[in-house]
Structure 1
């Protein structure tokens, strides 16, 4: 009687299949060097007395295939040193950046964070999480001070001046009071903590053909966007700090809807991945009665994009886009990392925010270590985690964007920051592998936020659930004034 595969067997098979796929991709680079070495050996062998003319050189379509393959292998051999050189340039720390500019702002931020986490037990677990689940009894005051120097100053502990050292000491004391536990004095160098923008940037090499494939997928996505009526445009932010233009896609609404005073345009910002292709099921459902703007973020779309737009440039670009098309407010929709841009708009241009829809948001409870740990530090144990680990979090340009430009204090959004006069919806997935969705759900209860909870749904899997998309479509129409 044949044995029936268990869930563990299927999981193991899918995990091994994923490992095999990654191995095949990784193996392209050493294959290229072996091929090029063999080619050089043949040429040198010919120079030392043999005829350089290859007697069995293929002609016709075989010759074309041979030339294409040889060119590909040469490109791959040259791509590795360039990729490593780029990594070496991008991994250096950028200038210190933090949303809290003075002692009062830092004290307020600490109080908000501790209040958001909750009781003493929850705060203890939060601290242990930042220290890779090290028991609180093993974490010393010096270790917490080192973490606080990063969390509230974006600095190494040794880079703090005397006044800042006093501040950190007060923060540690305040934390001890909140957790009702006196930390042991000293510093244990064996106890490591998560410090995203200071820790070493982690990257796994991938061959040039990988980026060619991604470019083809982006091209397919752009074809779909044109089919849906979108056209590409760009804008330069006022006071541009990076020297690059912000690209976006625009689809005008119907002329009849523009006559309605209460309708609002839609601005959508995608998350990490392959740009808009992953979001086509949602984009296709966006209402055609209002103007729709899709903000393009190539630096988190696995493209060769070193430039990461600053907060100031992004906010200015969004304001310029809306003003260019005669809008003063918009309904902002974003997924995952894209919700950071909505947080920036709420903090810097709340006058332009009419309503918001946060999908699998990363901006709430950023003081919780789950998002940083799950996306950057976690060793993969499941197929989904392995796919995310290699294909997303360890991709060079995404790793650079997060490890050197993701400052939690500038991205975090507390529930009291949400304008009470506007409509806000937060969609959470129960099986989210990145966002601590259950904790965020509990945190946002009893606030001016409408919660939409998706059972048995992973991060980003919303795009493949037609019933959830139908509900979301209705919510979007309400948010932009098309439905009462």
Structure 2
């Protein structure tokens, strides 16, 4: 809000008057657009404030106009900055003395516009090319592929498997399905098709025909491509330097908040390990594993389990600070470990760790603090890390209970998550918010399109056997097909606010969108109560 007031004040203080020198008048006209664009950053800040409090917008027309204007303002900064630089170089020489009434504004703009232009040309454009690097796929054996495909075919969802993986889903031919199978099971393209796979693939094609109830026509329909998440180009949009500075301020505030709660930061003391810089990391304690940072609230209880919190995609830990504060107040003697996944936190940073490296990092962190057992609380992308941990024998035994909020890993063989996050064209205000501020962030997109492998991350109901697990689903989730996941986990068509089956609980929030559960305390109160019970069940 301070930035909002400042931008408006600067705009009003340095308004231009008519009758100026011809060049200055032209300059004023051109830069009035720039001023307006800069002033629109207030809108962006307001969007973020709304994002912090509501996490997702609704679907009303005013909200739609609001988010579209905010996105347009951010996207206009780079082209307007380059236009400003060109104008200053070609039309208004640097030696020209500006009118005193707008000299300060012009002086500031002479610094800011070149910075934004250079940031676009020298940082974004090279990174856009660099982030397209080929993914390093995990490879499955024939037995693993067959077992996985059999499992997938057993739950087809609402008749959109496998047809939902294809654009214009009813017009795909046999080779279209072959192309999809080569990506999904063999992690390769048509060009790398091997003859030794032929018999195996024929079996898969036969199963697909049985699922569809029809024979696939021969040939390839070029108008019906399939979604191949880790082979398709990485989609991204530029973020201006101003946006990253806002992220830096938010991160600084988040750090202060966590420090005030008693958390300690462990990590690399290099302030410029990621951008924007993190000056408070100069006071960090050494991490037990290089390149991994995390927050730790010391564990002092002998009768309760500590909590391992795994956050989701967004702006880091800021949206979760009040939730973490509630946990800390509820159980001041219970430790909380919060790893930072910077590659999904709207920053410019290095690629995410591989699955094995991530699990090794978690193992080292737990060992460094002598934590034999933990309760996992994970949200969105963090549930993917939790799913990976479930399949790691030595780490899985250290988990006493798990809370999964807006879970990504269930039914990943269905197209919903991939389509909603990567391929869907936004229409409503909440979809535009997700699309620009999450889906098209360069580092987030690189993480999803080059380091998210569904075969590693999928989680089955059978994997939860003999585990204490609670799953929280938002009925209006625009990323996860919450209704399909609910039916899969409960085996029932009837919707219930709370469902319990053995050690599995399913909590439903029918009116909420993805991540809105962390909006206000009355919503996450149920989660706190679940974790309160989990941390007490050490024995």
TM over 0.5: yes
Structure 1 distance, partners of 2:151, 2:520, is: 35
Contact 2:409/2:459, CA 8 A, preserved across alignment: yes
**Residue in structure 1 matched with residue 156 of structure 2 by the alignment:** 117
Is 2:366 the counterpart of 1:366?
A: no
Q: Partners of 1:290 and 1:56 in 2: how far apart?
A: 61
Partner of 1:13: 62
C-alpha distance in structure 2 between counterparts of 1:125 and 1:112, whole Å:
16
Of 314, 320, 325, which aligns to 1:273? 314
- Residues 14-33 of structure 1 correspond to what in structure 2 (within 5 A)? 14-33=63-82
The answer (yes or no) to whether the contact 1:117–1:365 under 8 Å persists in 2 is no
| Partner Cα separation in structure 2 for residue 58 and residue 405 of structure 1 | 53
- 2:189 is aligned to 156
Query: Counterpart in 1 of 2:361?
Result: 317
2:470 pairs, out of 413, 419, 425, with: 425
In structure 2, C-alpha distance between the alignment counterparts of 1:302 and 1:168, rounded to whole Å: 40
Deviation at 1:426? Answer: 0.4
Match of 2:135 in 1: 94
Q: Residue in 1 aligned with 2:120?
A: 80
Aligned partner (choices 29, 44, 54) of residue 96 of structure 2? 54
Q: Is the 2:376–2:401 contact (alpha carbons within 8 Å) kept by the matching residues of 1?
A: yes
Pairing of 1:401-480 with structure 2 (within 5 A): 401-418=447-464, 420-445=465-490, 448-480=503-535
Q: Find the counterpart in structure 2 of residue 249 from structure 1.
A: 295
User: Could you tell me how far apart the structure 2 residues matched to 1:226 and 1:147 are?
Assistant: 48
Stretch deviating more after TM superposition (165-174 or 433-442)? 165-174
Q: Which residue does 1:48 correspond to in 2?
A: none
Give 1:18 shift. 1.5
Report how far residue 350 of structure 1 moved.
1.5
The match for 2:232 is: 199
Q: Deviations over 1:12-56 (max 9, x none)?
A: 23212211111111111122112211221257x5xxxxxx74344
Supply the distance in 2 between the matched residues of 1:11 and 1:474 (Cα, whole angstroms). 33
Q: Is the 8 A contact 2:309 2:339 kept in 1?
A: yes
Tell me, what secondary structure is at the counterpart of 1:249? strand
Deviation at 1:352, TM superposition (A): 2.2
1:400 is matched with 446
Provide the residue aligned with 1:5 in structure 2: none
2:388 is matched with which residue? Answer: 344
**Structure 2 segments unaligned to the other structure (5+ residues):** 1-57, 270-288, 492-500
CA contact 2:383–2:407 (8 Å) conserved in 1: yes
Indicate whether 1:70 and 2:110 are aligned.
yes
**Secondary structure, in 3 states, of the residue corresponding to 1:246?**
coil
**CA distance, structure 2, for counterparts of residue 361 and residue 347 of structure 1:** 16
Q: Tell me the CA shift for residue 195 of structure 1.
A: 0.6
**CA 1:117–1:456 in structure 2 vs 1: closer, same or farther (change >3 Å)?**
same
Q: CA deviation at 1:307?
A: 2.0
Q: Secondary structure at the match of 2:370?
A: coil
| The 10-residue stretch of structure 1 (226-235 or 211-220) with the greater mean CA deviation from structure 2 | 226-235
| 2:215 corresponds to | 182
Using the TM superposition, give the Cα deviation of residue 63 of structure 1 relative to its aligned residue in structure 2, in angstroms. Answer: 6.1
5 Å-filtered alignment, 1:301-312, equals 301-312=345-356
1:6 corresponding residue in structure 2: none
> Does the CA contact (< 8 Å) of 2:420 and 2:478 recur in 1?
yes
Which residue number in structure 1 is paired with residue 23 of structure 2? none
Q: Secondary structure at the match of 1:191?
A: coil
Match of 1:125, SS? coil
Q: SS of the counterpart of 1:480?
A: helix
* 1:214/1:302 contact within 8 Å kept: yes
SS in 2 for 1:285: helix
Q: Secondary structure at the match of 2:167?
A: coil
3-state SS, counterpart of residue 267 of structure 2: strand
Q: The residue matched to 1:27 in structure 2 has which SS?
A: helix
Contact residue 230 and residue 251 of structure 1 kept, 8 A: yes
Once the two structures are superposed, what CA deviation does each residue of 1:233-261 show, in whole Å capped at 9, x if it has no partner? Answer: 1389xxxxxx95110000013x4xx232x
CA contact 1:197–1:406 (8 Å) conserved in 2? yes
One of 413, 433, 436 as aligned partner of 1:387: 433
- Following superposition, the deviation at residue 266 of structure 1 comes to 0.5
Alignment-derived partner of residue 37 in structure 2: none
- In angstroms, what is the RMSD of aligned CA positions? 2.3
What's the CA shift for 1:187? 1.5
Relative to the length of structure 1, the TM-score reads 0.87
Task: Indicate the residue corresponding to 1:103 in structure 2.
Answer: 142
TM-score (norm 2): 0.79
Q: For the residues of structure 2 that align with 1:163 and 1:96, how far apart are their CA atoms?
A: 19
